[in-house]
Amino acid sequence: MTAGGTSRLEEPLNRHPVDVVFHGHAHHGSLEGVTSAGTPVYNVALPLLLAKFPDRPPFRVIQIPAAAANA
């Protein structure tokens, strides 16, 4: 799993039906990644958001496609 994640978390995410993952523990990780099963992973750690977007408020807006939201 990328985006500053850990393989210990990836196993249960791949075992259960998950559409998207948000986490904030990897303060120096990547903003986005995917699990080996293709699930998108978003890092919303405050220190990372402040470092990557110093000129913007420290939050992210992620649009989830309607098909995924209605599944």
Token pair of 9 as six digits: 């978390």
In the three-class reduction of DSSP (H, G, I as helix; E, B as strand; rest coil), residue 65 is classed as coil
Which among 50, 42, 40 is positioned nearest to 18, based on CA atoms?
Answer: 40
| Residue-wise pLDDT tens digits, 17-71 | 888 999 887 777 889 989 999 999 999 999 999 999 999 999 988 887 776 556 5
Whole-angstrom distance, CA of residue 32 vs CA of residue 6: 13
Q: Evaluate whether residue 45 is within a structural domain.
A: yes
pLDDT band for position 3 (50/70/90)? very low
Parent domain of 45 = 7-69
Q: Evaluate whether residue 2 is within a structural domain.
A: no
Predicted pLDDT of residue 9: 83
Q: Evaluate whether residue 52 is within a structural domain.
A: yes
Q: Whole-prediction pTM value?
A: 0.75
Predicted pLDDT of residue 6: 63
Which among 18, 59, 31 is positioned nearest to 5, based on CA atoms?
Answer: 31
